[in-house]
Homo-oligomer: A and B are copies of this chain.
Amino acid sequence: MKPKENAGCEVAESVAGRVFSVLDAFVGAPDTLRLTEIARRTGLPVPTTLRMVRELVAWGGLERAADGSYRLGTRIRAIGAAAPCPRGLLDLSLPALRTLTSRTGGHADIAVPSDGTALCLVSGNRLPLHATAAGKILLAHGHGPLTALQRHTRHTVTTPGTLASQLSRIRETGLATAHEEYALGELSFAAPVLRSDLAVAAVFVTLPTSAPHTRVDSALREAARTIGRGLDAATR
């Protein structure tokens, strides 16, 4: 008996769903994937995958690399960038962020990946991915490439190995921290906002190192869960 083996996930029903799953195969993956790898990840038969991928390439959502493998293309970027600063996400998050602020006393914000930086929706700041809690959450979930690890303070993690092990730990625990790694005297905590299992953003709190931070963990997780649930609810 064949073990039913779709890389863990059920195959998409509609054509549109199949197209989407091909795109999804690229997040949290190497930049470039070969056809069979995409098929494996999506659980689709190879010829079907080929047709999907071809249409995506023709449109510009994917592009072929020199060696024949595929990567996300210019058009999908253009569309993604045309999405206005996710007002919807921000609006949805504000109540949760407010209670988070009041429960922890720190600055609460929500960050989305944006071309190798974490864009904070409330403050508008861009933060480096490797030196902040929110950034690490995004990295841990496959966003951004980790580029040069620029040093910001004497506590910034600049060795890829250390960072990698932190990331895998973050994936396990669902919580990231940064101790004065971006600015001295500043401590931050972050958790992933999951929208049907894809991390689309990170909620985070920044506190002075001196402040108490006992309640932060649970408050943060709850905020993340609330926002994620809100996103899923908007699906109906």
Q: Which residues of A contact B (CB under 8 A)?
A: 14-17, 19-20, 23-24, 26-28, 31, 52, 55-61, 63-65, 71-89, 112-116, 119, 142-145, 195-196, 198-201, 231, 234-235
Do B112 and A60 have beta carbons less than 8 Å apart?
no
Q: How far is the CB of A48 from chain B (nearest CB, A)?
A: 12
Instruction: Provide the residues of chain B in CB contact with A16, threshold 8 Å.
Output: 15-16, 19, 52, 55-56, 59
Instruction: Provide the residues of chain B in CB contact with A144, threshold 8 Å.
Output: 81-82
Q: Tell me how many chains of this kind the complex includes.
A: 2
Interface of A is mostly: mixed
Do A74 and B195 have beta carbons less than 8 Å apart?
yes
Do A72 and B65 have beta carbons less than 8 Å apart?
no
Instruction: Provide the residues of chain B in CB contact with A113, threshold 8 Å.
Output: 78, 81-82
Bound state CA distance, A60 and B65, in angstroms? Answer: 27
